[in-house]
């Protein structure tokens, strides 16, 4: 399954991010805690280069907490500060600001040595579409400043936001990259909602989600869908059992694969299957 999506406005947004980078002191890069590697834009990594940065793993309430801790340690082993947040329930938001300010300590010390009057730290917040950026910003600031939606591509323009006296925040649109070289990346992004559903076959995405659950979280499938605990060798067997159990049927008791697929994807994204991570730091496929 070859999934690609790169609207024209993303190319413009990427160039704008690059042009504004010199104006900021630290970059706050958001990644989906369920797919930390796949949800990081490799082009942004190239643009950021040596600029102080923090990785924020969003939607941590939907990810496997044990795997999230593994990812945080994975990045810290590379010298990259990483924190996780649950914006929906306002958990961990204060840690982002603390981590960003900590990353600019050298800069602030240099200002002090040179006798430069301290000013608010300028931070740029970046990430792919539908990574939870607008929700995080609104919860962080305490008012609805950024547009929120459950589909990618809501934020189209950059805007500066005040984060108290200590920080000014530059919000940017979600940006993907022109081509996903690894097909697994496209599947993971599609599963988490970073790509418009109109471009997808949700039945295939459901197979992918079930395949991950079959390997790592079979008990979650059994519990959520009330399935019999019996041997199943393929994702298709799980998928058909789920369809039957939920009544996703056509005439003649045939499985309605389209309806069942939409249901599985919707319940995964909503966290109804439980806290599930779709990739791990040292999975061969995710490397």
Averaged pLDDT, 73-92: 90
Phi then psi dihedrals of residue 161, to 5 deg: -130, 145
Q: What single DSSP character describes residue 35?
A: S
Q: What pLDDT band is residue 252 in, cutting at 50, 70 and 90?
A: confident
More confident residue, 23 or 212: 212
Phi-psi region of 63 (alpha: psi -120 to 50; beta: other; left: phi over 0): beta
CB-based contacts of 128, cutoff 8 Å, min separation 6? 30, 31, 32, 39, 40, 41, 152, 174, 175, 176, 189, 194
Q: For residue 9, what pLDDT is reported?
A: 55
Averaged pLDDT, 169-190: 81
Consult the annotation and say whether 174 binds a ligand: yes
Domain definitions of the chain by residue range: 8-171, 201-269
If we measure between CA atoms, which residue out of 134, 116, 114 comes closest to residue 125? 134
The C-alpha torsion from 160 through 33 and 39 to 188, rounded to 10°, is -140
pLDDT of 13 > 80? The answer is no
If we measure between CA atoms, which residue out of 243, 262, 265 comes closest to residue 254? 243
If we measure between CA atoms, which residue out of 93, 115, 86, 113 comes closest to residue 164? 93
Model-level pTM? 0.86
CATH assignment, 8-171: 3.40.50.300
Consult the annotation and say whether 58 binds a ligand: no
Q: What pLDDT band is residue 10 in, cutting at 50, 70 and 90?
A: low
Q: For residue 268, what pLDDT is reported?
A: 97
Consult the annotation and say whether 131 binds a ligand: yes
Q: For residue 257, what pLDDT is reported?
A: 94
Least confident of 43-47, 79-83, 207-211, 214-218: 43-47
CB-based contacts of 65, cutoff 8 Å, min separation 6? 275
Spatial separation of the C-alpha atoms in residues 261 and 3, rounded to whole Å = 17
pLDDT of 154 > 60? The answer is no
CATH assignment, 201-269: 1.10.1580.10
Q: The tokens of 86 are what?
A: 């649950």
Averaged pLDDT, 64-76: 96
Q: Is the dihedral of CA 180, 181, 187, 191 positive or negative?
A: negative
Consult the annotation and say whether 130 binds a ligand: yes
Averaged pLDDT, 67-80: 94
Consult the annotation and say whether 211 binds a ligand: no
pLDDT > 70: what percent of the chain? 87
Q: What pLDDT band is residue 11 in, cutting at 50, 70 and 90?
A: low
Q: For residue 91, what pLDDT is reported?
A: 85
Averaged pLDDT, 183-209: 89
What pLDDT digit, counting tens, does each position of 104-135 carry?
Answer: 999 989 988 999 888 899 999 998 888 988 88
pLDDT > 90: what percent of the chain? 54
Spatial separation of the C-alpha atoms in residues 284 and 55, rounded to whole Å = 22
Mapped onto helix, strand or coil, the DSSP state of residue 29 is strand
Consult the annotation and say whether 90 binds a ligand: no
Burial 87-113 (b: 16+ CB within 10 A, else e): bbeeebbeebbebbbebbeeeeeeeee
More confident residue, 175 or 34: 34
Consult the annotation and say whether 135 binds a ligand: yes
If we measure between CA atoms, which residue out of 152, 153, 194, 264 comes closest to residue 38? 194
């Amino acid at each position: 399954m070859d999934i690609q999506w790169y609207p024209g406005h993303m190319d413009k947004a990427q160039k704008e991010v690059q042009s504004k980078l010199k104006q900021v002191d630290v970059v706050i890069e958001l990644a989906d805690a369920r797919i930390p590697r796949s949800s990081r834009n490799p082009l942004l990594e190239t643009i950021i280069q040596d600029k102080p940065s923090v990785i924020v793993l969003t939607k941590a309430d939907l990810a496997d907490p044990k795997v999230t801790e593994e990812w945080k340690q994975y990045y810290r082993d590379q010298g990259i500060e990483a924190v996780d947040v649950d914006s929906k329930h306002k958990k961990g938001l204060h840690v982002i600001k603390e981590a960003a300010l900590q990353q600019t300590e050298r800069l602030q010390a240099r200002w002090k040595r040179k006798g430069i009057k301290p000013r608010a730290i300028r931070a740029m917040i970046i990430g792919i579409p539908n990574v939870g950026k607008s929700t995080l910003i609104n919860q962080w600031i305490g008012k609805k400043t950024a547009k929120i939606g459950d589909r990618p591509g809501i934020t189209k323009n950059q805007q500066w936001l005040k984060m108290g006296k200590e920080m000014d925040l530059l919000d940017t649109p979600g940006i993907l990259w022109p081509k996903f070289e690894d097909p697994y990346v496209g599947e993971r992004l599609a599963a988490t909602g970073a790509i418009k559903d109109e471009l997808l076959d949700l039945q295939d995405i459901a197979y992918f989600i079930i395949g991950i659950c079959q390997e790592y979280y079979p008990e979650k499938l059994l519990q959520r869908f009330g399935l019999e605990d019996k041997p199943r060798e393929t994702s298709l067997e799980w998928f058909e059992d789920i369809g039957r159990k939920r009544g996703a049927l056509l005439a003649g008791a045939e499985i309605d694969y389209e309806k069942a697929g939409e249901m599985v994807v919707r319940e995964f994204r909503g966290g109804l299957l439980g806290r599930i991570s779709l990739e791990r730091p040292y999975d061969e496929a995710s490397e």
